[in-house]
Amino acid sequence: MYSFDYQRPDEAKAAVTALSADGDAKFLGGGQSLLPTMRLRLAQPSALIDVTRIQSMKSVTLDADKLTIGGAVCHADVASNADVKKALPGLADLAGRIGDRQVRERGTIGGSLANDDPAACYPSAVLALNATVVTDRRRIGADDFFIDMYTTALEPDELIVAVEFPLAERAGYEKFRNPASHFALVGVFVAKFRDGSVRVGVTGAASSVFRPAALEAALSKDFSVASARGVTIAPDELNEDMHASAEYRAHLIPVLAGRAIERAMSF
């Protein structure tokens, strides 16, 4: 490591002011992505603005139509929170299967979304549930938030203060995980809403999380495992690497969608 300044403000506004005052500063969530990157010298921020002590970003609130999770809530707290388990058990289940216990105790939902790793779990839920990312200055709908690999609609000095999730009738996630990291080789989140519509978020399979139109159309007609398994996904533009071919990832998407439906029906 090299030397850098460290600040731990109590309020979101102070965090943004501190970051804006130094063009090379970065927000620090749980440090589970940023600190390894710094160790590898792939990032060398002059200052870290730690947002994990900002109390307004650490709460979970359940209203009649939405669940709001503060940007600094760690994965373990999402997994164990009673309101998350009651309103969106599929989301609690997803959080409880991120990485290992250490990663879950430190990593935050805001950090995960800002980082936008193409194999991260949360982006699939945010997209499928049509969540809204609330920042210190605006509200960004899920369809407009994820741009490309490690690239979101956030400005460099923009802070995720919360994420608002509409309540779905059924929601579930399944991933084929990399056994070393537990990141998704492919991960699929399915969400069925009260009006019968279905949204699906796929992570790990392409350069960014995406919604497979054919699966959404099939599941909106018939929200069943058989319906998911009846869909064929084209491998064009899917990831191909040492872990899996594009064809294998394409094959996994409907398979995991079916398993995600089974999970969604089990809560």
Ligand X SMILES: Cc1cc2nc3c(=O)[nH]c(=O)nc-3n(C[C@H](O)[C@H](O)[C@H](O)COP(=O)(O)OP(=O)(O)OC[C@H]3O[C@@H](n4cnc5c(N)ncnc54)[C@H](O)[C@@H]3O)c2cc1C
Residue ranges in contact with ligand X by CB under 6 A: 26-34, 51, 71, 98-99, 103, 106-108, 110-112, 114-115, 117, 120-122, 159-160, 181-183
Q: What minimum distance in Å lies between the beta carbon of 226 and ligand X?
A: 29
DSSP assignment of the chain: ----EEE--SSHHHHHHHHHT-TTEEEESS-TTHHHHHHTTS---SEEEE-TT-GGGS-EEE-SSEEEEETT-BHHHHHH-HHHHHH-HHHHHHHTTSS-HHHHHH-BHHHHHHHT-TT-SHHHHHHHTT-EEEESS-EEEHHHHEEETTEES--TT--EEEEEEEPPSEEEEEEEE-TTT--EEEEEEEEE-TTS-EEEEEESSSSS-B--HHHHHHHHH--SHHHHHT-----TT---SSS--HHHHHHHHHHHHHHHHHHHHH-
As measured in angstroms, the least distance from the Cβ of 240 to ligand X is 21
Alpha-carbon gap, residue 131 to 111, rounded angstroms:
16
**Nearest approach, Cβ of 57 to ligand X (angstroms)?**
7
| 121/218 with CB nearer ligand X | 121
CB of 233 to ligand X, least distance (A): 21
Question: Which residue, 71 or 201, has its beta carbon nearer to ligand X?
Answer: 71
Cβ proximity to ligand X, 39 vs 194, nearer residue: 39
Nearer to ligand X, 35 or 255 (CB): 35
If the CB atoms of residues 112 and 130 are measured against ligand X, the closer one turns out to be 112
Least CB distance to ligand X at residue 153 (A): 12
Question: Least CB distance from residue 84 to ligand X, whole Å?
Answer: 16
Choice between 56 and 224, CB closer to ligand X: 56
